[in-house]
Structures are given as C-alpha cells and as structure tokens.
Structure 1
C-alpha cells in the first residue's frame, strides 16, 4: 500500500470525508485558515460542526494519542507538534500516552511501559505542551475512562473490531509485528475508543486528530456512541497525511525497523539518512521532507506553498530549506530524555 494521492482520494471518496483546503472547506478553526489547515491535515469528519461549537463557546476539546512502542519517530514527533499547535491557537487539547495500549496490544512488560511513559511525558512537555492549560495523561490509573470502556463494550461486537483495523494492518503483518487481531489488541482499540467517548460523555464536542490510516478508530467510536444513545455527531475526526517511510515504505513507523528516523538515533545518522533521501516523488504527498516541514507549528499555508514551489523547481532555496529542516528536526529530537 502506498499513501499517495490515489490513496487519499480513495479514502475521501469511500468514506465521504470532506477535503481540507481544496475549495470545499468554508470554515476556519481557532484562527487557522483553510490554507493553514491543509498543511497539517487532509480530510475530516464533522470538523465544521466542531469549529462552530468552538466559535459559539460551547465546551470543546481536541484529543490525540501516541503509542509507546519505542522512542518517538518522526511521525510521532510531528503528530505531537500538531496538537501543540492547536493548543497554541487557544483550543483545549488532550494528549494520551498509550501505555495500556502497548501493554495489551504489544505485550510490553508493565515496568518497561511505565518507564517509557515517564520519558514521553518529559518529551511532550519539553516540546512546548502546557499541561496546566491542557491534559497530558496516561491510560493506566484512569478508572473513570476504564469504566467508560467497559460500558462502551456492550455496544460493540467482534465484527466491529475487525472492520476497524487500521489500513496498515496488512503491512504490519508482513513485517511480523503481529499475526492476527488478538484479544489484547481489541482491548487496546476499545480503550482508545473510550478515550474519545469519555470526553463525549462529559458533554463536550470532541475532535480527534489521527493519521489517516487510523480513520476507522473514530468511526468505531462514533458507531458505539450512537448505539449507546450518546450524541455521536459531537464526535469528530481530523486526519493527517502520512510521512512517507525510508526505503520505499509507506510510513515512518516505530513498528517497522528501518522505515524512518527516531529520537534514539545519533544526530549524524539522522543527518545522513535525510540527506541521502533522493526526494524524487512527483507529488508533494510523496516527499517525506516536505511533509515533515508542513507539520512544524510555525508553518502556515503561505509558507508551505512557497517551499513546495521551491521543491518543484529544485532550486537552491529548497536545498537551503532541507538543511534547515534537518537541523530543526535534530533540535526537536534532542528533547528526548537519553
């Protein structure tokens, strides 16, 4: 599977998602224009209604989460930066560290998960997330959310979990990450859905920010919420493009060795890998470096268009931007506790 323009078109058409920044969008979100939004997200479900709720002053929150399968790779880093950007724009934001997700789905020992969660917490705060204005939490110990997961499970069945497998499941199987959808993986998916639905139960409008390969997780949560009798239309999703992986792989992933760069690598190795990227993809979607650049909080629609044009022209400006991006990435990764 390739996360290219054809894939994005297929996802949008199949699931009737709306495009962001391609003319069909007619709303801003927390001061971000449609052009700004399209630099960091590519499609959504219900984001217009969420934006209206924010504008009307109704209770609203953005939530995202990261898996704890190892040190953060580029995809994880830039997902976190998107959440921080939304917080900087004035939105309430929650970041969930998926410790029980890793414990159940990956069968990681609990002591190891807890130590990794400590490091992730320090990393997120060092990147600029304000825990006093938002929520940075783990799954372990959140008994109220665990109770929501138990109540939600009544409204979901085995077929729902098989339907909701992310689009990269086949790739992960091919690389030996897992063989089938185990009971532990279903439990991890249920708890992820509960992370969303619990906020809905509290009477808020909820916007979930995830990679587009994970779009079915929001649909699963909406399905369960609707069956439960909760206002499922108050649960929205906004989805990011994938950062293409190295070596022809579709995505930088912690689960696939060699697919990308991560915070545990030394600076010289990261520089060498990024400088060696030929960056010959004909479209912006296929450029790992350009997609990384797009996710920086300071990059808006105008800056993205400027750098995209420089890349297409292959001029010195793009080479300069590449070098600056590499050094910026190293600076961000340097916050990871060694």
Structure 2
C-alpha cells in the first residue's frame, strides 16, 4: 500500500469524507484558516459541525491517542504536537496514552507498558502540553471509560470489528506484528472507541484526530453510538496524512523496526538518516521531509507554500529548510526520556 494522492482520494471518495482544502472547505477552527488546517490534516468527518459548536460556545473537546509500542517515531511526535497546537489555540484537548491498547493488542508485558506510559507522559509535557488546561491520561484505572466500553459492546459485533481494521493491517501481518484480528485486538479497539464515546456521553461535541489509516475507528465509534441512541453526529473525525517510512515502507511505525526515526536514536543517527533521504517523491504527493515540516506547530499555509515551492525549484532555500528541520526534530526528540 502506498499513501499517495490516489490513496487519499480513494479513501475520501469511498467513505464520502470531505476534503480539507482551499476552495472546498468553508470553515476555520480555533483561529486556524482552511489553508492552515490543510497543512496538518487531509480529510474529515463532521469537523464543520464541530467548528460550529466551538464558535457557538457549546461544550467541545478534541481527543487523540498514541500507542505505546515503543519510543515515539516522527508520526507519533507530530500527533502530539498537533494536540499541543490545538490546545494553544484555545481548544479543550485530551491525549490518551494507549497503555491497555498495547497490553492487549501487542501483548506487551504490563510492567513494560507502565514504564512506557511514564516516558510518554514526560514526553508530552516536554513538548508543551498543559495538563492544567486539558487531559493527559492513561487507559488503565479509568473505570468509568471501561464501563462505557462494556455498555458500547452490546451495540457492536464481530463483523463491525473486522470491517474496522486499519488500512495498514496487511502491512503489519507481513512484518509479523500480528497474524489475525484476535480477541485482545478487538478489546483494544473497543476501548479506543469508548475513549471517544465516553466524551459524547458527557454531553460534548467530540473531534478525534488520528492518522487517515485509522479513519474506520471513528466510523466504528459512530456506528456503535448511533445504535446505542447517542447523538453520533456530534462525534467527528479529522485525519492526517501518513509520513512515509524509510526503506520504501508506506509509514513510519513503532511496530516495524527500521521504518523511521524515533526518540531513542542519537542525534547523529537522525542527521545521517535524513541526510540520506533522496527526497524524490512527486510534487503532488509531497515527501517525508516536507510532510514533517508541515506538521510543525509554527507552520501554516504561507510557510508550507513557500517551502513546497522551494522544494520544487530545488533551490538553496529548500536546503536551508531541510537543515533547520533536522535540527528541530533532534531538539523535539530530546524531550524523550532515555
């Protein structure tokens, strides 16, 4: 599978999602213009209604989560930075550390999961997330959300979970991460859906920020919420592009060694790997470096357009941007507790 323009258009057409792009979106969110949004997300479900709720002062929250399969790679880093950006824009934001997700779906020992959760909590705080203005939590010990998962399970069945497998399931099978959708993985998916639906039960409008390969998780939660009789139209999703992996892999993944750069790497290794990137992707599909640049909190439409034009021209400005990006990544990853 290749995460290129054709893939994104296929996902949007198949699932009737709306493009987040100039000329096709007529709303801003938390002070971010349509063009600014487009630098960090590619498509959405119901985000316009969420933006309306925010502008009207109705209870609203953004939620995202990260798996704890190992040290954070670039995709995880930028998922957290998007949460920080939205919080800085004044939105109520929740970050869920998927400790029980990794325990069930990846069979990671509980003591290892807890150590990783400690590290991820420190990492998120180091990146600038303010727990006094939002929620930074683990899944373990959240018995009210677990109760929501149990209640939600009545409205979902095995066919729903088979349908909701993420688009990279085949890739993970080929690399031996798992061989089939087992009971633990279904439990992890159920709890993830409950992380979203529980906020809905509290009477809020909810916006879930995930990678586009995980778009079916939001659809699964909406499906269960609707069958339950909850206002599923208040549960929205907004989806990011995938940062291409190294060695020809479609995505940087914590579960696939060698697919990307991560927080455990020495600075010199990160510099060497990114310096070796040939940056040969077609202009329309972007590049790993350009996509990472777009994800920086300070980068909006104007900065992205300038960098994209410099990359197409192959001039000195793009080389300077590349060098500055590499050093910025090293600084950001330095917050990961070694």
Cα distance between partner residues in 1 of 2:285 and 2:193: 28
Q: Deviations over 1:176-234 (max 9, x none)?
A: 10000000000000000000000000000000000000000000000000000000000
How far off its partner does 1:22 sit? Answer: 3.3
How far off its partner does 1:23 sit? Answer: 1.2
Q: Deviations over 1:74-111 (max 9, x none)?
A: 00000100111000000000000000000000111111
User: Could you say what secondary structure the match of 2:115 adopts?
Assistant: helix
Corresponding residue for 1:235? 235
Matched, 1:203 2:199: no
After superposition, where does 1:12-31 map in structure 2 within 5 Å?
12-31=12-31
Bigger CA drift: 279-288 or 36-45? 279-288
TM-score w.r.t. the length of structure 2 is 0.99
Corresponding residue for 1:126? 126
How far off its partner does 1:257 sit? Answer: 1.0
Gaps of 5+ in 1: none
User: Could you say what secondary structure the match of 1:247 adopts?
Assistant: helix
Corresponding residue for 1:277? 277
How far off its partner does 1:284 sit? Answer: 4.8
Q: Deviations over 1:264-322 (max 9, x none)?
A: 01111110000100001112534000000000000011100000000010100000000
Bigger CA drift: 18-27 or 169-178? 18-27
Bigger CA drift: 186-195 or 281-290? 281-290
Corresponding residue for 1:169? 169
Corresponding residue for 1:246? 246
User: Could you say what secondary structure the match of 1:62 adopts?
Assistant: strand
Corresponding residue for 1:98? 98
Cα distance between partner residues in 1 of 2:306 and 2:246: 25
CA, structure 1 residues 72+208, in 2 after alignment: closer, same or farther (shift >3 Å)?
same
Q: Deviations over 1:129-161 (max 9, x none)?
A: 000000000000000000000000000000000
TM-score w.r.t. the length of structure 1 is 0.99
User: Could you say what secondary structure the match of 2:285 adopts?
Assistant: helix
Cα distance between partner residues in 2 of 1:328 and 1:335: 12
Corresponding residue for 2:51? 51
CA RMSD of aligned residues (A): 0.6
Cα distance between partner residues in 1 of 2:257 and 2:110: 23
Bigger CA drift: 71-80 or 279-288? 279-288
8 Å CA contact 1:285, 1:291 repeated in 2: no
User: Could you say what secondary structure the match of 1:156 adopts?
Assistant: coil
Matched, 1:308 2:308: yes
User: Could you say what secondary structure the match of 1:285 adopts?
Assistant: coil
Cα distance between partner residues in 2 of 1:112 and 1:248: 30
8 Å CA contact 2:104, 2:185 repeated in 1: yes
Cα distance between partner residues in 2 of 1:283 and 1:108: 39
Cα distance between partner residues in 1 of 2:110 and 2:247: 33
Cα distance between partner residues in 1 of 2:222 and 2:104: 23
8 Å CA contact 1:61, 1:94 repeated in 2: yes
Cα distance between partner residues in 2 of 1:125 and 1:101: 21
8 Å CA contact 1:280, 1:287 repeated in 2: yes
8 Å CA contact 1:222, 1:235 repeated in 2: yes
Q: Deviations over 1:3-57 (max 9, x none)?
A: 0000000001001111112311000001000000000000000000000000000
Corresponding residue for 1:160? 160
Corresponding residue for 2:215? 215
8 Å CA contact 1:284, 1:308 repeated in 2: no
Corresponding residue for 2:8? 8
8 Å CA contact 2:5, 2:284 repeated in 1: no
8 Å CA contact 1:99, 1:114 repeated in 2: yes
Cα distance between partner residues in 1 of 2:206 and 2:283: 32
